[in-house]
Amino acid sequence: GGKFYAINNVCTHEGRPLAEGTLSEYEVECTWHGTRFDVRPGEVKSPPAKSPVSTYELKIDQDDIWIRKSIK
């Protein structure tokens, strides 16, 4: 739909890279234990993870993608 989202690449359950998972609609599934996260708010949609992943603000400017670093 022309929208882009940025989330942390690390599953909050056991640290597996989410980039290795599959994306279906707005949910990415971790390859280790099947936790699914909604990439829009980062919330857990299917356990075993209990904590959401961090989300990041992003902006597209022509051919550039800018992602705002979170400050914690």
Q: State residue 72's pLDDT score.
A: 53
Q: State residue 44's pLDDT score.
A: 98
Give the Cα separation of 69 and 1 in Å (integer).
24
**Which letter, b or e, does each residue of 23-45 get, where b requires 16 or more Cβ atoms within 10 Å of its Cβ?**
eeeebbbbeeeebbbbbeebebe
Q: State residue 63's pLDDT score.
A: 92
Q: State residue 71's pLDDT score.
A: 58
The alpha carbon of 38 is separated from its chain's Cα centroid by a whole number of angstroms, namely: 7
Strands (E), the chain: 6-7, 22-24, 27-29, 36-38, 44-46, 55-56, 58-61, 64-67
Q: State residue 69's pLDDT score.
A: 77
Q: What is the pLDDT along the chain (72 residues), one digit of tens a residue?
A: 678 999 999 999 999 999 999 999 999 999 999 999 999 999 999 999 999 999 999 999 999 999 997 655
